[in-house]
Amino acid sequence: MLEFHRQTKSPFLINPYPFFGFVPETLNYALFKPNAGVFDNATGMNYTNMFDAQMDAVFSAMKQVGYEDVDIVVAETGWPSAGDPTQPDVNVDNAASYNGNLVRHVSSGKGTPLMPNRTFETYIFALFNENLKPTTSERNYGCSSTT
């Protein structure tokens, strides 16, 4: 697949979702808020947000097989605005925080520890909530409402 992207000069599209990887103790890390960060022994880099760690995990794997020249685009990422009662950190405030901090981060030109000094074409999921999805959090990624 990566060879196809190289030959066609098309980007590799990925969907990093810190929401799926966070636990209550790593909420600030997932939301781009101040935190101690996570040190990666393999790279010697300190990560201050989960998004960068997920991006660099993909880039590192691509580099290991010789495709670091293929551009990466974030096809979708986001944070739900409502969840089940067992998901207290799934709320409108955290969705707004994640999406706002994401936009500032990817447009800042800072890049990631392994891909510094760059911006990333990034698409936020989703424009509207999807009432036919199976779980409460999956139904509530929309930035707008049809109601």
Residues marked active site are found at 76, 130, 133, 138
Between the CA atoms of 104, 105, 107 and 113, what dihedral angle is there, to the nearest 10 degrees?
Answer: 170
**CB of 125 closer than 8 Å to CB of 78:** yes
**At 138, which helix (H) or strand (E)?**
helix 136-139
Token pair 């990566």 is found at: 2
Instruction: Give the C-alpha distances (Å, rounded to integers) separating 50 from 16, 108, 127, 131.
Output: 9, 17, 23, 28
- Return phi, psi of residue 108, to 5°: -75, -20
Helix (H, G, I), strand (E, B) or coil at 128: strand
